[in-house]
Chains A and B, each alone.
Chain A
Amino acid sequence: MTTMIGTSVPRREDERLLTGRGRYLDDLDLPDALAAAFLRSSNAHARILQIDLSAARELPGVIAVFSGADLAEIQKPLAPKVLHPQLKDFPRLPMPPGELHYVGEPVAVVIAETRYIAEDALELIDVDYEVLPAVASTAAALEPGGPLAHSDAESNVAVLLTQSAGNTAEALRTAPNRLSEEFFVMRGGGHSMEPRAVAARYEPATGQLTIWDTTQSPHYARQQLSVIYEMAEDDIRVIAPPDVGGGFGPKAQFYGEEVVIPWVAKKLRRPVKWVEDRQENFVSAMMERSQTHRIEVGFDDDGMLLAVKDVIEHDQGAYCAGLQVPSITTATVPGPYRIPNIEIELRACYTNMVPTSSVRGAGRPQAVFAMERMMDRVAEHLGLDPAEVRFRNLIQADEFPYKVGITFRDGSPLTYDSGDFPRLLEGTLDRLGYAEARAEQAKLRAEGRYIGIGIAAYVEGCGLGPYEGAKVRLTNTGRVLVTLAAAGQGQGYETVYAQIASDGLGIDMDHIDVLTGDTSRIPFGQGTFASRITATAGPAVLDAAQQMRVRLVDTAANLLGCDPAEITFTGDRASLNGDLEKSLSLLEIARVANIGKHGITLPVGISAGLETSSYFAPERAAYASGAHAAMVEVDPETGGIEILKYVIGHDCGNVINPKLVDGQVLGGFAHGLGNAMYEEAAYDAEGQPQATSYLDYSLVSAAEVPTVELFHIHSPSPLNPLGVKGAGEGGTIPAPATIANAVEDALRPLGARVNRAPVTPARIVEAIHGDEQALAEVRGS
């Protein structure tokens, strides 16, 4: 049998998805299910003075209407994921009865025969608000004496943290060269094509709640619900449906709607389903990205970095869903470079906007934007080639494990496990044709055209703990069933984990099935986020499969009366050295060891119950890495950017299914391009969202995404037996930095500065027009 790991096996999921037979949450048959719709706050900051639900309740077809106060028993805080002792936390209640903190926060829920009627009833709810002053930027949040996002707060600060290595103040003071700049990265969303959804059914006979949830983390949802409902975990079954239409981070979080819907289903003793519409998604699904970086670098005359100081303002939104994103940012700033002195200060603060948490990239694009923009500025300052400045500072391939000097979010020393950053950058530049591109740039620049080349390198901590697990069982139909706690959203888990199990078992994957995302099928799990599943569930599946192989071989050898070493598998048959005359099918093995005969003693030497399980807990994060390079042309009149060439170099260690890894990287890139050039979740100064449809918020289409040349190198991770790292976010992370670097490079003759992402035509024109002389040069010549 050939090795499955490393093979581009076609996906098992595709047939059903291509023929309209996928089973997404809204497709599931739930007889007699009622529809839910939420009334959401229309104010960024307000207090509910009075709420009148009577007219809504009287509408024919409405079954029930609840305000937050009507469901007082579940108004308990939704806990932040990553905490810090100094975090000033404000309780995020499922549906707050009092003060509201962002436009879109749930205020009341209508349960009706149809969603149409439920939405009609929303119009009949009368809420009397006391509107309070709102905070709509980190700058406003940190302004002394400004409005407070939470009325009972002393300030809008969530946490102030500093991480340092060496003596940055002294190193900056004595550095031969110093540059500083302020960069801003805009808010953006996950925008999975399927929005969030929850459905629930209560079984009075057993007291059990079954919940279908588009979550990336069913076990996390169950844990939260168990605490809030004060129910045993075994009485709550959370199922992420077999098909979930994208995740990208926001679905890894836990929301008020996930608490309200099952509880209402239990109260009403009727199934209830809520499917978020896109308008709701814009104002209630968590977002990310908005950060301001004030970064200062000290360097010598050769461009060697001596010190980096970065002060980061992070927009936590209305509540703290956890400090995971800013913690990742602070750990990502140093990137692939040797930096002897580092000081990173985080100022996370509350605003009256949708709470933030991870969106594909998760805090890394912002760090890379700040650092990589500064690498270009260093080169510009010294008159050096930006690629050369990077090469001089890169950590070398023989320096792993490399300790950065600061700490990771779990408090352990931030350590890169493996990689070859110089080879990645070199490969990327070779494929771009870097030297030729520079020559071309010079030639075209002389003709008055604005050509730019942008480079960005990054590292990505992935495969995070605490653990992920798998069970492998021989079923009563003679098939091997692999059960993962992790839930997929399009990554191809049914294929990838069958590949790994196939290698672990030495059995063809045709005899292996994979099930995911159901808390009733496997007791413990964490969830799909942070590019972690391949590096955590992967080793767990391999180990459980290898254990199962031993069990199957032992059982077969016992029944065939031979030595275990003589057993081989052909198809679904275990045989004595391939002799099918002396063989047993998996079904026959299951009949003996699992199904058994009531009251009859097992054959001597057979151990009952062919099931294995394994939980893999990585020692620390594995570090993927990459480099992007782009050549662009900018039209200084319109601010239009044309991407002439784009190259991605990617290293996520060993890969299980190369085609699916390419898909992850290229899809991530398109998301990153959106952050680089298009996506802006804008709010006005009163905290009113200004982009709540795809007419105002642009997602890239096939017309915007250029053809990309993608290549991989493979630096296996020593931290897990598969040598794998994560691939889900690498494509996204450096794209804004790469495009911004390329655009500023193109506009260098005009001296225009690109200090924020996305880089839009309007901002390019503004950057150019900021300098009247440059404007005259463009127009006049």
Chain B
Amino acid sequence: MPDVDTGHRITGTVNGAAYDEVVDDRMTLADFLREKLRLTGTHLGCEHGVCGACTVIVDGAASRSCLMLAVQADGTEIETVEVLAEDGELNRLQAAFKKNHALQCGFCTSGFLMSVTAAMREGAIRDEGHAREVLSGNICRCTGYTGLVKAVLEAGE
């Protein structure tokens, strides 16, 4: 519940759509996305910046939305997992995740997708070592990463 005295008005875009909201100083970007905008595809796994489940892309950079305040995102362009599908179909990376069984419970999946999406924009994923490096900023407790590595190699070539 934003405190009017300490609330800040923030504007920007999320997945291309403009928003104009008043938020409490201390509201995290993750809570802003989840609770204010109801974009619940972004998940909170540790809230201290290690697990990576909350990763979103802020002005092109993969960012931990649990470690960022909503007010810090003022004026930025944010992308979340909800933007990835193309015309209602899984995009290349999402399809590669599905094909290679790169997800089980799915809770960490959004964060992985956003981390890898940001990395792929920087260039092709060269080899397995590179894929593992790209994936190593996020934690998955279900898959053992085998499917994730395959998916990234397949989508990132």
Contacts and interface: CB of A to CB of B under 8 A. Distances in A.
Interface string B115-157: 0000000000000100111011111111111111100000000
Interface residues of B, number: 57
Given A278-B47, A693-B48, A699 B139 contact: yes
Interface in A142-197: 191-195
B43 A194 contact: yes
B145 A245 contact: no
Contacts of A248: 141
Contacts of A670: 141, 143-145
Most chain A Cβ neighbours within 10 Å, of B98, B106, B110: B106
A680 to B, nearest CB: 16
A264 B138 CA distance: 36
Interface in A667-705: 667-671, 693-695, 699, 701-703, 705
Given A20-B41, A20-B81, A116 B24 contact: yes
B103 interface: yes
Interface residue SS majority, chain A? loop
Contacts of B136: 701-703
Interface residues of A, number: 57
B104 interface: yes
B25 to A, nearest CB: 10
Nearest to B95: A18
Most chain B Cβ neighbours within 10 Å, of A27, A193, A489, A703: A193
A447 B135 CA distance: 35
A13 interface: yes
Nearest to B85: A19
Contact of B101 (A193, A662, A702): A662
A705 B144 contact: yes
B80 interface: yes
Contact of B149 (A21, A243, A491, A702): A702
B51 interface: yes
A277 B47 contact: yes
Contacts of A10: 98-99
Interface string A263-288: 00000000000000111000000000
A18 B95 CA distance: 9
A663 B94 contact: no
B141 A699 contact: yes
B42 to A, nearest CB: 7
Contacts of A662: 101, 146
B143 A14 contact: no
Interface string B89-118: 010001001110101111111100100000
B1 interface: yes
A653 to B, nearest CB: 20
Interface string B7-24: 000000000000000001
Contacts of A27: 34, 40
Contacts of A695: 48, 50
A773 interface: no
B45 interface: yes
A11 B81 contact: no
B8 to A, nearest CB: 15
Given A114-B1, A246-B141, A702-B149, A278 B106 contact: no
Given A693-B50, A703-B133, A194 B113 contact: no
B1 A245 contact: no
A380 to B, nearest CB: 31
Most chain A Cβ neighbours within 10 Å, of B99, B109, B144, B146: B144
Interface in A192-213: 192-195
A663 B143 contact: yes
Interface in B31-65: 34, 39-48, 50-51, 53
A659 B101 contact: yes
A116 B51 CA distance: 21
A246 B43 contact: no
Interface in A114-159: 114, 116-117
Nearest to B41: A20
Nearest to A194: B107
A22 interface: yes
Nearest to A693: B48
A10 to B, nearest CB: 6
Contacts of B139: 193, 694, 699, 701
A14 B99 CA distance: 10
Contacts of A699: 51, 139, 141
Contact of B40 (A26, A114, A660): A26
B81 A19 contact: yes
Contacts of A277: 44, 47
Interface of A: 10-11, 13-15, 17-22, 24, 26-27, 61, 113-114, 116-117, 191-195, 243-246, 248, 277-279, 489-492, 659-660, 662-663, 666-671, 693-695, 699, 701-703, 705, 707-708, 731
- Which 10 A-B residue pairs are closest in the complex by CB-CB distance? A20-B41, A490-B105, A245-B107, A17-B106, A670-B144, A694-B50, A490-B104, A666-B144, A702-B135, A27-B40
12 contacts: A10-B98, A11-B101, A18-B85, A20-B40, A114-B1, A193-B108, A278-B46, A279-B47, A666-B146, A701-B135, A702-B131, A702-B145
